[in-house]
Amino acid sequence: MSLEKITNPFNARHWIGNMEADYRYTLGVAGERFLKEIKENARIMGAKCPVCGVIFVPPRLYCEKCFAKLGEWVDVGKKGEVYTCTIATIDIDGKKLEKPQIYALIKFEGAHGGLIHKIGETDKVYIGMKVEAVFKPPGERKASINDIAYFKPAE
Amino acid sequence: MSAKIKHFPGEEIETKDFREGKVLFESFHPKAKYAWSAGIAISRFLEELKNGRIIAATCSKCKRIMVPPRIYCEKCFKPTDGWTYVKDTGVINTFSVSFIAADASRLKEPIVVAIINLDGASEGMGIVHRIGEYGDWREIKIGMRVKAVWKPPEERTGAITDIKYFKPIKE
Amino acid sequence: MFGKKRVAIVGAGVTLFRRNLKETGKELAYHAAKIALEQAGMELRDIQSVVMGTAPDAFDGVHMKGEYLADGAGAYHKPYTRVFVGGGTGVFAPLAGWWHVASGQFDTCLVVCEEKMSSCYPHPQYAFTTIFDPILERPIGMNLIWIFALEMNRYMHKHNIKKEDIALVSVKNKRNALDNPMAQLAANITVEDVLNSEIMAWPVQRLDVSPTSDGAAAAVLVSEDVAKEVTDNPVWIDGVGWCIDSTHWTDRDLYYPDYVEYAARMAYKMAGIKNPPKEIDVAEPYDPFDYKELHHMEGLLLCKKGEAPKLTREGVTQRDGDLPTCPSGGLLGCGNPIAAAGMMKVCEIFWQLRGEAGKRQVPGDLRTGVAQAWGDLMQYGSVIVLRR
């Protein structure tokens, strides 16, 4: 059989494989403090830049605008506002979700940035909607962003 | 490092700190699967391996016989203009005796891997493969002649592993 | 002069290099960048452009790692370039920084290199194995250590070199690292220790190899006009060179790195260096394995092919020798966070030429230094020549 010109695509070969890897991401110096506060104190913290005065949420080690080290941490409260949102109908593998899930970027008053999280206890969401964090019971918290179960509509 | 820098930042932690909960972390396992196209040249190479033969590509400008074959000669950037079979015998160019596996775990029996310069290909042209039936690994030498040990025809699938390994031969 | 403007390094910084650091990649990049700025007496607002050098995304486990690290590298709202050539990145990043300033487009450029290999769990080995061809090489079970072993074996065979001579490099560099406060594996070992260490993939043994690490390094590059304002002691980038060979590594004779020689010639031509062993006062070739220092010394034309082991035996490459090599402790002593490792070598040459290397200071009036990095599938060389 001449192999000069392959016209049958099944003779054009491919090799199947995957890229195996597991990851363990340290939360970092700032991240560990942020999630510990959520786990132990049910507090959402921001970090303030001593030079620009900006409060960053999530808090970080340094100000990306002026490169100063962020030393002062502030409680930004549990209430925020929906800055933007979407309703997901399929999961990460492309399968249809049993019940659509609302995701939103939630901003906190006086702070720069925000948290991406789920919206629960409602089917409706709109930009500007006031929301409040609902924490898991203390025994179930693991120092993860999911220690906040979701944000619910607030008054 | 500089005599002017008084403090080098970095909080050192140890692997056991993860287990003991002294440092917090998030885990993730990416699910990435691939189907890599063998391409024009290697598709033919693999098909020929299934037939128990090793094929090379030729560049008439550079006078090179290249294995594994390719559709362009990377030196003169012309398309390769021919195919030719090379032998399944050759010489060990370099080798290593590995006591660690691909996942960094320790092996009791070593894996011997080598670059084999195949007879009929241009000088220095080689493929990487395993060496087997070598007896004592300390006896393996650069320059030793070797021959491919093939899987039986019905077990070949068109893969580099259709050759099980190369074994030393006396000549 | 090549380029529109002459380029100087005016400040440098490194973090600790360790197997496991708590900081995220962003935080590591920040620390190194901040120290470099402070040492230069400059602020982030003085920086007009940023170059980040960082190796495979698969180590940190963040896709588009360059973008992820950008704000930690001070690149917020700035022109930003990420470069990546495997291990060659650490010297290639300041080369790319050089383009930014020498072209006249920018007066200042902050160059930052970062690596957090510990995120790949349990061992970064997994990330490495995907460098091999998926069809012809991975099914054989390729492991990264094997390619070093194949190259080392060929080098030893070609020049009839004994392991004892190669082990001397590991002994020298780990000892040099004892004077380096950020080093990961500084130690006082002997040739016997190396020869008795666990065989990984013969001829490579455990003490021939540098570790995987977390760490970051950075430097501030400026044009001649700015250098005059911020310092009386600029270190000029007088030569840059880089070169790549193909991934058909089975076609090459691995005993000699041609591509390092081509990169070196390019850099030496620019710097006007005609006799490298005589004109270079201090060298930091890339040493992820002990034999690599020898391999690269030859590629850098610092000696004849096969001659490097003799120079090591005779003490020429010690800090008080005629050609001090890896005075920092190298990767064998300091650790190997891939991209940051090469950058650390550039920082070391910077400090050596300025007389700021503390206990590691090479004696004498040092004028010219060279740093080199090597990368990818044994195919890439990047070389930088610094002068005072």
Write the pLDDT tens digit of every residue in B58-87.
999 999 999 999 999 988 888 998 999 999
Q: Is the CB of B160 less than 8 angstroms away from the CB of C135?
A: yes
Chains contacting C with at least 3 CB pairs below 8 Å? A, B
- What's the one-letter identity of residue B17? D
Residue B27 main-chain phi, psi, to 5 deg:
-110, 155
Q: What is the per-residue pLDDT for B101?
A: 82
Evaluate if residue A15 carries a pLDDT over 90: no
User: In the predicted model, what is the mean pLDDT of chain C?
Assistant: 94
**Residue B51 domain-assigned?**
yes
Residues of C in contact with B110 (CB under 8 A): 202
Q: Does B25 contact A27 at a Cβ distance shorter than 8 Å?
A: yes
- CA distances to A46, A100, A152, C150 from A148, rounded to whole Å, are 16, 19, 11, 52
On whether any CB of chain C is under 8 Å from the CB of A64, the answer is yes
Q: What pLDDT score does C135 carry?
A: 87
Residue B34 in domain:
no
- Interface mutation vs chain B, best among C115, C133, C135, C245, most B CBs within 10 Å: C135
Q: C23, A29: Cβ pair inside 8 Å?
A: yes
Interface of C with B in 181-200 (CB under 8 A): 181-182, 198-200
Whether the link from the prior residue into A58 is cis, omega within 30° of 0, is: yes
Q: B16-20, B127-131, C294-298: which has the minimum mean pLDDT? A: B16-20
Examine residue B26 and state whether it is found in any structural domain, yes or no: no
> Chain B contact for C136, CB < 8 A?
yes
Q: Are A32 and B24 in contact (CB under 8 A)?
A: yes
CA–CA distance, C254 with C277 (Å, rounded to integer): 23
Model confidence at B1: pLDDT above 70 = no
* pLDDT for the residue A7: 60
pLDDT value, residue A19: 74
The count of domains in chain B is 1
pLDDT computed for residue C230 by the predictor: 95
Q: Is the pLDDT of residue A4 over 80?
A: no
Q: Is residue B55 part of a domain?
A: yes
| Average pLDDT rounded to a whole number, residues C254-262 | 95
Would the CB atoms of C154 and B94 count as touching at under 8 Å?
A: yes
Write the pLDDT tens digit of every residue in A137-155: 999 999 999 999 999 999 7
pLDDT for the residue numbered A10? 58
Report the candidate in C120, C231, C110 with the shortest Cα–Cα distance to residue B25. Answer: C120
pLDDT > 70? residue A12:
no
Residue among C271, C291, C304 at smallest CA distance from C371: C271
Is B86 a domain residue? Answer: yes
Six-digit token string for A66: 């002026």
Is B61 domain-assigned?
yes
Q: Is the pLDDT of residue C276 over 80?
A: yes
pLDDT digits (tens, 9 = 90+) for C348-386: 999 999 999 999 999 999 999 999 999 988 899 999 999
Residue of B nearest to C63 (CA): B30
Q: Give me the residue spans of the domains in chain C.
A: 7-122+211-387
For chain A, helix, strand, coil in percent to 5 are: 15, 45, 45
| DSSP code string of C312-349 | HHTTTTSTTSSS-B-TT-HHHHH---HHHHHHHHHHHH
pLDDT at A2: 47
- Of C27, C127, C130, Cβ closest to residue A28: C27
Among B44, C305, B140, residue whose Cα is nearest residue A11: B44
Neighbours of chain B (3+ CB pairs under 8 A): A, C
B24 inside domain: no
Asked whether the bond before C79 is cis by omega within 30 degrees of 0, the reply is no
Residue-range domains of chain A with CATH: 26-153 (2.40.50.140)
As a whole number of angstroms, the distance between CA B73 and CA B66 comes to 9
**How far are the Cα atoms of A66, B93, C132 from residue C114, in angstroms, in the given order?**
20, 36, 24
CA distances from B170 to B90, B135, B150, C216 (A): 12, 14, 18, 53
**CATH code 3.40.50.620 for C7-122+211-387:** no
Query: Considering chain C, what percentage of its residues have pLDDT values greater than 70?
Result: 100
* Distance to chain C for B140, nearest Cα, Å: 11
Phi, psi of C336 (to 5 degrees): -135, 70
Segment C121-160, tens digit of pLDDT: 777 877 787 888 888 888 888 888 888 999 999 999 999 9
The percentage of residues in chain A with a pLDDT greater than 90, rounded to a whole number, is 75
The whole domain housing B75 covers 39-168
For A22, the closest chain C residue by CA position comes to C121
Which residue of C74, C120, C135 is in closest CB contact with A15? C135
Report the 10 Å Cβ neighbour count for B76: 12
Rounded to whole angstroms, how far apart are CA atoms B38 and B43?
5
* Inter-chain residue contact C27 with A27, CB threshold 8 Å: no
Q: Judging by DSSP bridges, how do beta strands A112-113 and A55-57 pair with one another? A: parallel
Contact C119 A26 (CB under 8 A): yes
Q: What is the mean pLDDT of residues B7-20?
A: 90
Of the given ranges (C57-71, C128-142, C262-276), which has the lowest mean pLDDT? C128-142
pLDDT: is B157 or C121 the higher one?
Answer: B157
Categorize the per-residue pLDDT at B28 as very low, low, confident or very high, splitting at 50, 70 and 90.
confident
Range C313-330 average pLDDT: 96
Residue range B101-110, pLDDT digits in tens: 877 788 999 9
What pLDDT is attached to residue A8?
Answer: 60
Q: What is the pLDDT of residue A1?
A: 40
What is the tens place of the pLDDT at every residue in A22-62?
A: 888 999 999 999 999 999 999 999 999 999 999 999 999 99
